[in-house]
Structure formats: structure tokens, C-alpha cells
């Protein structure tokens, strides 16, 4: 089989067979197909798309490129959750203990941040001692005993995705619906949870810019999940404004703890409860109204906080952070910036907030680059709020005055104001079942 012919076929909208797709993925993973040929094929996919059958075959070929976990040995249904990435998105850290406190089991492998979006694993690593690289046996044991365990993506799972994603990042071929679907779903299927909840984001801080595009991606991912025999649902959610009040690793852990303690509530809490309810529905714990009530009770009773503390301790971290936030890394410099004008906040461009945090060292621009766990931003005012010139708007946390000043200038550009009240974006656009 000539790889040249496969590139030509995709370019000319001639569907590839399952065998041809497996040949491409296997050949590239083993290093037999050179980067330039795979790049050409990926670009053909970006421009011409793939059929649903081709996308499904690509997902399975990527899943089968490495090890697949067998979670059935736990003897209980398990639920995984995936977000397509957002600014300040710490929902995994809220839903995992909430669902565990309701008797569910959440085995979760998460990624590190790259570019302007943060990674759950980086956030957890800001807790002193927290270990994200656990052996599989410990991962299974902690999931069984506590109900949730979050570790970093194992290198043995989906090596094809690792290689293909790296190439996509270099060749402007990331934002393609079939490629994103195959990348995410191959990892979800290899992890082996019986149910999968997807949080597909749209807006200027997300891969999908419009809700319509996000629905297309969600439909495809849910259908690939069903074909592979998984219970699967997706929520289409807004990413036009940062999620929650904090962006940055330790700052987001502190926010999670304040929410679990019942000291804060907002859009992020509402979204987390909605996601938790859907995960509990997938696990067969009841209908959506009952499951939402269960999730709310787990949060307000403090049982979710207990689960979070238990998970931190089981993964080697200092669980005392749940009682004393000063044990988390703190930035040396904190710069509070005030509103330059009066009015209603019409928009806070989340991508700009992400980029400002990246500049502070809260994220990484290269794989494996070191990050500053204490850096980030705390927003004091949100979309829809009325501000008077001089009111505190946000506080920048960083390692130097210069870094904080730069970030502050960028952040100020992310805000726009209006004379009239603007309704904050609706959090959940649609549920795809």
C-alpha cells in the first residue's frame, strides 16, 4: 500500500478503508511513515474532513496503538469525564470528589497544560507531595477505596495520539473535528471506563468557536463512544469567559477547596453540579433531577471535601491544604489592578486571560517546560458586574513586578465595558445524548 495514494484519496474525498487507516496509524507510530507524509495526510483531513466511519476507524486504530486498561476488574461501573479545554477549568477537581461522595467511581487520567489552557495534572502537582505518576495497581486501588483517583496520562496508552498530536501542534492541524474526536476518544476508550461524560466547550477560549461547531464535535464523539459500547453523553458549554475566579495552578486548587468548603459559589459550581449529575445518571444512580440533588447534597454536606482530602492523602499529598490554604505555593508579587472606567463588564476574553497567565509562567509553551505553580490571576469582577472607575478588577500573582505589570496590561485589554447590563453567557448550551 502506497502512503502517497492514501494522501491523494483523502485529498480527493475518496474514503479510506479501515485497513488503510490502521496501516497509516501503525506505520506512523512505529516510525515507518515519515513526518512529512503524515503531515500531508493530516492537512488533507483538516481541509477535506473524514466520514463518520473513517473517524471511528481512526479512533480505534489510535486506541489499539498501545495498552488498554481493563477497569472491569473493579467490578463496578466507572465514569470518566473529559473537557475539551478551557481557561480556569477546574471542573474535574470538583466533579471527581462530588461523584465519589455519591458512591460513584471516577478513575481519571489527565493531561498537562500546553499553550494557554491549563492542565489538571499541573494544578494537582501544586499541592505539596501530590503524586500524579502512580503505578496502575495503586490507581485501581485508590479508585476502588476512595472513589476517585487522578493521575497523569500513562505513556503506554495511545502512543499514536502522542506522536500525532505533537505533529499537529507543529503543522497547524489541531483544529479539525475528526482529528480532535479521534485524539480524545482514543484516550477515553483506552482508559476503559464504562461511561464517558464529555464537556465540549465553545467560545474564544476554546478550539470550537461556535456552539454549532461544538455540537458537531460532540455528536461525533458520542457516536464513536456508543459504537465502542460505552455509555456516553456530552454537555456543550460556554468558554467565552474564564471559568471561576482564579486562573493559575495553586490559585485554582485554593478556589476548588473554597468551593468544596461552601465558601464560594458561582458559574463554575453550577457547571460542576450539572456535570456531576450527568455522570451519576450515566452510572445509573437515578434521573437527572435526583442526581443533581445527590450532587448538591454531597457538596453542601462537606462529604465531597472529605473525598478530596482523602484522595490527596492517598496520592501522597499534604491533605492539610484543605484546612490551611497558606500551605499552597504563593507568588512573591501580587498586583491589584483597578477598573480604568465605569460601566458594566460586557466581556472578559478568556483566551487573553490564558495568554496573560502563560506569560506569568503559569502555563508552558514547550512540552515538559517548568511552570510557576503560584502564578496566575484572581478576578474580582465578572461579566455582567457593574464597576466604578477605581474598583479592584483583578489581582495578578507572579514572581516579579515586571512580569505582573506585563500581564496586567494584557489583562486590561481583555475587558470590554458597556453602559447597559449584559447578561453573562449561558453556561450550558445543549446536552447531546
State yes or no: residue 85 binds ligand URA (CB under 6 A).
yes
Cell 470550537 belongs to residue: 208
Nearest distance, CB of residue 43 and ligand URA, angstroms: 15
Decide if 161 is catalytic. yes
Gap between the Cα atoms of 290 and 292, Å rounded = 6
Gap between the Cα atoms of 232 and 283, Å rounded = 10
- 81, 90, 123, 187: the catalytic one is 187
Total length of the chain:
433
State yes or no: residue 350 binds ligand URA (CB under 6 A).
no
DSSP codes, 258-306: HHHTTS--SHHHHHHHHHHHHHHHHTTS--HHHHHHHHHHHHHTSHHHH
- Write the burial class of residue 219 (CB in 10 Å: 0-12 exposed, 13-18 middle, 19+ buried): middle
CB–CB of 269/259 below 8 Å? yes
DSSP codes, 303-327: HHHHHHHHHHHHTT--GGGGT-GGG
Q: Which is nearer to ligand URA, 132 or 319 (CB)?
A: 132
Gap between the Cα atoms of 247 and 85, Å rounded = 13
Nearest distance, CB of residue 180 and ligand URA, angstroms: 4
State yes or no: residue 110 binds ligand URA (CB under 6 A).
no
State yes or no: residue 180 binds ligand URA (CB under 6 A).
yes
- 65, 183, 186, 272: the catalytic one is 183
Nearest distance, CB of residue 39 and ligand URA, angstroms: 15
Nearest-5° Cα angle at 44, 40 to 45: 120
Number of residues that bind ligand URA (CB under 6 A): 8
The SS3 of residue 94 is helix
| Residue number, nearest CB to ligand URA | 183
Decide if 346 is catalytic. no
Gap between the Cα atoms of 91 and 12, Å rounded = 41
Nearest distance, CB of residue 133 and ligand URA, angstroms: 19
CB–CB of 150/110 below 8 Å? yes
Q: Which is nearer to ligand URA, 205 or 424 (CB)?
A: 205
State yes or no: residue 84 binds ligand URA (CB under 6 A).
yes
State yes or no: residue 50 binds ligand URA (CB under 6 A).
no
Q: Which is nearer to ligand URA, 205 or 374 (CB)?
A: 205
Q: Which is nearer to ligand URA, 123 or 285 (CB)?
A: 123
The contact mask relative to ligand URA for 150-169 (x = CB under 6 A, - = no) is ---------------x----
According to DSSP, the β-strands at 195-202 and 231-238 are parallel
- How many other CB atoms sit within 10 Å of the CB of residue 164? 26
Stretch in the footprint of ligand URA (CB under 6 A) among 25-33, 175-183, 213-221, 376-384: 175-183
Nearest distance, CB of residue 104 and ligand URA, angstroms: 23
Candidates 158, 183, 194, 269: give the one binding ligand URA (CB under 6 A). Answer: 183
Nearest distance, CB of residue 222 and ligand URA, angstroms: 16
- 64, 80, 89, 161: the catalytic one is 161
Decide if 397 is catalytic. no
Q: Which is nearer to ligand URA, 78 or 183 (CB)?
A: 183
Q: Which is nearer to ligand URA, 158 or 395 (CB)?
A: 158
Nearest distance, CB of residue 236 and ligand URA, angstroms: 15
Gap between the Cα atoms of 97 and 319, Å rounded = 14
Stretch in the footprint of ligand URA (CB under 6 A) among 2-10, 172-180, 277-285, 331-339: 172-180
Contacts of 182 (CB under 8 A, 6+ apart): 55, 58, 59, 62, 161, 224
Decide if 187 is catalytic. yes
Q: Which residues bind ligand URA (CB under 6 A)?
A: 84-85, 165, 174, 179-180, 183-184
Provide the annotated active-site residues.
Answer: 82, 161, 168, 183, 187
Amino acid at each position: 500500500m502506497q502512503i502517497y495514494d492514501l494522501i491523494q484519496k483523502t485529498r480527493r474525498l475518496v474514503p479510506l478503508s479501515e485497513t488503510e487507516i490502521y496501516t497509516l496509524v501503525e506505520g506512523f507510530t512505529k516510525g515507518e511513515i515519515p513526518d512529512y507524509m503524515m503531515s500531508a495526510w493530516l492537512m488533507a483531513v483538516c481541509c477535506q474532513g473524514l466520514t463518520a466511519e473513517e473517524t471511528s476507524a481512526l479512533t480505534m486504530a489510535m486506541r489499539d496503538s498501545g495498552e488498554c486498561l481493563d477497569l472491569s476488574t473493579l467490578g463496578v461501573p466507572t465514569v470518566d469525564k473529559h473537557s475539551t479545554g478551557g481557561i480556569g477549568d477546574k471542573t474535574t477537581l470538583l466533579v471527581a470528589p462530588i461523584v465519589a461522595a455519591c458512591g460513584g467511581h471516577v478513575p481519571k487520567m489527565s493531561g498537562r497544560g500546553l499553550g494557554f489552557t491549563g492542565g489538571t495534572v499541573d494544578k494537582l502537582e501544586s499541592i505539596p507531595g501530590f503524586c500524579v505518576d502512580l503505578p496502575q495497581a495503586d490507581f485501581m486501588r485508590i479508585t476502588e477505596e476512595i472513589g476517585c483517583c487522578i493521575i497523569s496520562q500513562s505513556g503506554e496508552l495511545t502512543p499514536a495520539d502522542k506522536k500525532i498530536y505533537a505533529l499537529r501542534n507543529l503543522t497547524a492541524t489541531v483544529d479539525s473535528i475528526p482529528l480532535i474526536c479521534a485524539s480524545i476518544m482514543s484516550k477515553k476508550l483506552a482508559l476503559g471506563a464504562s461511561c464517558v461524560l464529555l464537556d465540549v466547550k465553545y467560545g474564544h477560549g476554546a478550539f470550537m468557536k461556535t456552539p454549532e461547531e461544538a455540537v458537531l464535535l460532540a455528536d461525533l464523539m458520542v457516536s464513536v463512544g456508543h459504537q465502542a459500547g460505552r455509555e456516553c453523553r456530552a454537555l456543550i458549554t460556554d468558554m467565552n469567559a474564564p471559568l471561576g475566579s482564579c486562573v493559575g495552578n495553586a490559585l485554582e486548587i485554593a478556589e476548588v477547596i473554597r468551593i468544596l468548603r461552601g465558601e464560594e459559589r458561582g458559574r463554575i459550581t453550577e457547571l460542576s453540579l450539572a456535570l456531576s449529575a450527568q455522570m451519576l445518571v450515566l452510572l445509573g444512580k437515578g434521573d437527572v433531577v435526583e442526581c443533581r440533588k445527590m450532587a448538591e447534597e454531597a457538596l453542601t454536606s462537606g462529604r465531597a471535601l472529605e473525598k478530596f482530602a482523602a484522595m490527596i492523602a492517598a496520592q501522597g499529598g499534604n491533605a492539610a491544604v484543605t484546612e490551611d490554604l497558606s500551605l499552597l505555593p504563593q507568588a512573591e508579587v501580587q498586583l491589584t489592578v483597578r477598573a480604568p472606567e465605569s460601566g458594566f463588564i460586557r466581556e472578559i476574553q478568556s483566551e487573553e486571560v490564558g495568554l496573560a497567565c502563560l506569560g506569568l509562567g503559569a502555563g508552558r509553551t514547550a512540552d515538559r517546560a517548568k511552570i510557576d505553580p503560584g502564578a496566575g490571576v484572581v478576578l474580582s469582577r465578572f461579566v455582567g458586574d457593574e464597576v466604578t472607575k477605581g474598583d479592584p478588577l483583578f489581582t495578578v500573582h507572579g514572581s516579579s513586578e515586571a512580569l505582573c505589570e506585563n500581564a496586567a496590561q494584557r489583562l486590561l485589554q481583555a475587558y470590554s465595558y458597556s453602559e447597559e447590563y449584559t447578561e453573562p453567557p449561558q453556561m450550558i448550551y445543549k446536552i447531546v445524548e
